[in-house]
């Protein structure tokens, strides 16, 4: 039987003070493949270990198939864990490793039929008599999977199971895991910091940052409608272009989003999404353009909804089937500095120091928004908003956060377009793919489900 796993307002702190998981609520359906995604140190493994019963839940509740399970011992949860280091017993053959949980579960029973069936399913019959030291990384991971599935648990909990494999093997085993879990129809909770892994495996992806759930949705939804700038920047390759913009909405002229030296003119009649931007008049916003939102073409080739920009070629990344062109458009990139950062207490000092020095773009945006706002968000229960997102403890030196090559706008193009460093190139921006985030980093275009409070 496969199970429903529900977390309700679950929190956890290891030491007095900072919560590493902060009021997390998630409902995972029976048979669902849910990926917990987020940067290192955001609390993913802690959530998994709380579900497994290996870590105590400080506050909130865990329900398994609707039954309160906070105090249920791990052995009674009927779940199997797969770890990144495979955790095989070195002195046991693959056969014994796979059969080990079966022998614990039913001492005296011969585990061979189940071990053989599992090995057939994974295509590892040939290596059953070898020891872990005689196996490749991929084979070891398959044996570890075999051990997890042999006793047909009601849920799999996988903690970065592919991170010790090389890139090619990772893709291969990733496909196998997807196939296998779907075939078995067992609820799976899978932890990773690799967004492409999350997108390709998950029925749904839950994005965590600093222990706080930012968004949960299908891979398509989190990519196409990220709720805040953190999710937008964490998901998608190449990373979304984030530019500082200023909304101008004169009473007697066209509405524009200024990007420093150039601007995006919003076509009239204004769409509802663009009309709602009017309340941002005179305010700084963050403009998000995924690489597919911009193409290289002359203004005369513009289709409805496309507006012109120009860019100076600063760098070309040849990828074989495509080229990533880094343009300088004269705009200033907005930085999400904590994306890859582990939480570190010592970072707090750095935050204070950077605040005194003026801080990064988003720090300044956040400060303008006011610290009070963060408190208001917490009280009103809105903890996914980017005030919290941008105000977290994990804040490394912005310079080291994301090595960005020169250029503020990355555009994908086919390799047959001949471009050279220093060329000025006409671009068209498809406003149907325009994202705008407010000072708090929350998405305001396309409009969020909940319309923003006009008093904010
Ligand atoms: N046993 C522990 N005692 C104290 N702090 C811990 C313990 N385990 C984890 N932490 C801290 O809790 C935070 C969350 O850790 P966790 O392992 O859940 O994150 P993660 O998102 O899985 O990270 P990674 O991807 O690097 O494994 C980190 O700051 C970590 O240092």
Ligand 1 atom showing the smallest separation from residue 193 Cα: 25
Q: How far is the CA of 49 from the centre of ligand 1 (A)?
A: 11
Nearest CA to ligand 1 atom 24: 40
Ligand 1 atom showing the smallest separation from residue 46 Cα: 18
Dig out the tokens for 117 from the structure: 């069936």
Distance from C-alpha of 44 to C-alpha of 3, rounded to nearest angstrom: 20
- Mutate which of 12, 41, 161, 396 for ligand 1 pocket (most atoms within 8 A of beta carbon): 41
Ligand 1 atom showing the smallest separation from residue 15 Cα: 4
What pLDDT is recorded for position 85?
73
What pLDDT is recorded for position 265?
94
Per-residue pLDDT of the chain (456 residues; tens, 9 = 90+): 678 999 999 999 998 778 999 999 999 999 999 999 999 989 999 999 999 999 999 999 999 999 999 999 998 999 988 887 777 899 999 999 999 988 888 888 888 888 998 888 888 889 999 999 999 888 888 898 888 888 888 999 999 988 877 777 788 888 888 888 888 899 999 999 999 999 999 999 999 999 999 999 999 999 999 999 999 999 998 899 999 999 999 888 889 999 988 999 999 888 888 988 988 999 999 999 998 899 999 999 999 999 999 999 999 999 889 999 999 999 988 877 555 343 333 333 333 333 333 344 444 444 443 333 333 333 334 454 332 232 223 333 333 334 444 678 999 999 888 899 999 999 999 998 999 999 889 999 998 864 444 443
Per CATH, the number for 5-224 is 3.40.50.300
Distance from C-alpha of 84 to C-alpha of 137, rounded to nearest angstrom: 11
Ligand 1 atom showing the smallest separation from residue 36 Cα: 21
> 104 φ, ψ to 5°?
-70, -40
Q: How far is the CA of 47 from the centre of ligand 1 (A)?
A: 10
Dig out the tokens for 75 from the structure: 């052995």
Whether the upstream peptide bond of residue 361 has omega within 30° of 0, thus cis, is no
What pLDDT is recorded for position 452?
42
Dig out the tokens for 212 from the structure: 């706080």
Q: How far is the CA of 20 from the centre of ligand 1 (A)?
A: 7
Q: Which residues line ligand 1 (CB under 6 A)?
A: 14, 20, 38, 40-46, 193, 343
Whether the upstream peptide bond of residue 269 has omega within 30° of 0, thus cis, is yes
Q: How far is the CA of 69 from the centre of ligand 1 (A)?
A: 22
Ligand 1 atom showing the smallest separation from residue 191 Cα: 22
Dig out the tokens for 140 from the structure: 């070891």
Nearest CA to ligand 1 atom 4: 14
The gap from C-alpha 413 to its chain's centroid, in whole angstroms, comes to: 25
Nearest CA to ligand 1 atom 25: 40
Q: How far is the CA of 401 from the centre of ligand 1 (A)?
A: 20
> 124 φ, ψ to 5°?
-120, 25
Sign of torsion, CA 216 219 220 224? positive
**SS in 3 state form for the chain?**
CCCCEEEEEEEECCCCCCCCEEEEEEEECCCCEEEEECCCCCCHHHHHHHHHCCCCCCEEEEEECCEECCCCCHHHCCEEEECCCCCCCCCCCHHHHHHHHHHHHCCCCCCHHHHHHHHHHHCCHHHCCCCHHHCCHHHHHHHHHHHHHCCCCCEEEEECCCCCCCHHHHHHHHHHHHHHHHHHCCEEEEEECCHHHHHHHCCEEEEEECCEEEEEECHHHHHHCCCEHHHHHHCCCCCCEEEEEEEECCCCCCCEEEECCEEEECCCCCCHHHHHHHHHCCCEEEEEECHHHEEECCHHHCCCCEEEEEEEEEEEEECCCCEEEEEECCCCECCCCCCCCCCCCCHHHHHHHHHHHCCCHHHHHHHHHCHHHHHHHHHHCCCCCHHHHHCCCCCCCHHHHCCCCCCCEEEEECCCCCCCCCCEEEEEEEHHHEEEECCCCEEEECCCCCCCCCCC
The structure tokens 């599935």 sit at: 149
Complex-level ipTM: 0.96
What pLDDT is recorded for position 266?
93
Q: How far is the CA of 368 from the centre of ligand 1 (A)?
A: 32
Ligand 1 atom showing the smallest separation from residue 344 Cα: 29
Whether 61 and 215 have beta carbons less than 8 Å apart is answered as no
In the chain, where are the structural domains located? Answer: 5-224, 229-243+284-443
What pLDDT is recorded for position 177?
86
């Amino acid at each position: 039987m496969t199970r429903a796993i529900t977390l309700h307002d679950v929190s956890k702190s290891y030491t007095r003070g900072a919560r590493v998981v902060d009021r997390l609520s998630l409902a995972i359906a029976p048979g669902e493949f849910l990926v917990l995604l987020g940067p290192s140190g955001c609390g993913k493994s802690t959530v998994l270990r709380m579900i497994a019963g290996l870590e105590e839940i400080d506050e909130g509740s865990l329900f398994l198939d609707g039954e309160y399970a906070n105090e249920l011992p791990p052995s009674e949860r009927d779940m199997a864990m797969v770890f990144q280091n495979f955790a095989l017993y070195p002195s046991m053959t693959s056969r014994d490793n796979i059969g080990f949980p079966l022998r614990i579960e039913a001492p005296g029973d011969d585990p061979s039929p189940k071990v053989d069936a599992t090995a057939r399913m994974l295509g590892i019959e040939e290596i059953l008599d070898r020891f872990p030291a005689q196996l490749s990384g991929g084979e070891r991971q398959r044996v570890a999977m075999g051990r997890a599935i042999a006793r047909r648990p009601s849920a799999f909990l996988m903690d970065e199971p592919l991170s010790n494999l090389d890139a090619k093997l990772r893709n291969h085993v990733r496909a196998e895991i997807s196939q296998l879990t779907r075939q078995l129809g067992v609820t799976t909770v899978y932890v990773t910091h690799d967004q492409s892994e999350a997108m390709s495996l998950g029925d749904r992806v839950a994005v965590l940052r600093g222990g706080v759930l930012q968004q949960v949705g299908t891979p398509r939804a989190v990519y196409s409608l990220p709720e805040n700038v953190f999710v937008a920047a964490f998901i998608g390759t190449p990373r979304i272009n984030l530019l500082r913009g200023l909304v101008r909405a004169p009473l007697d002229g066209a509405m524009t989003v200024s990007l420093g030296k150039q601007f995006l003119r919003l076509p009239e009649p204004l769409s509802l999404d663009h009309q709602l931007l009017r309340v941002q008049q005179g305010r700084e916003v963050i403009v998000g353009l995924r690489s597919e939102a911009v193409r290289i073409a002359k203004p005369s080739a513009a289709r409805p909804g496309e507006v012109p920009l120009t860019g100076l070629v600063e760098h070309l990344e040849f990828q074989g089937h495509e080229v990533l062109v880094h343009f300088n458009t004269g705009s200033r990139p907005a930085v999400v500095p904590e994306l890859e950062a582990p939480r570190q207490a010592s970072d707090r000092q750095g935050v204070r120091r950077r605040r005194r020095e003026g801080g990064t773009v988003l720090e300044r945006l956040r400060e303008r928004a006011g610290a009070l706002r963060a408190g208001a968000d917490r009280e009103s229960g809105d903890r996914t908003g980017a005030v919290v997102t941008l105000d977290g403890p994990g804040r490394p030196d912005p310079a080291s956060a994301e090595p960005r090559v020169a250029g503020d706008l990355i555009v994908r193009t086919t390799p047959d377009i001949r471009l050279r460093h220093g060329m000025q190139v006409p671009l068209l921006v498809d406003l149907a793919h325009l994202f705008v985030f407010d000072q708090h980093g929350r998405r305001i275009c396309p409009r969020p489900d909940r319309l923003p409070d006009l008093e904010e």
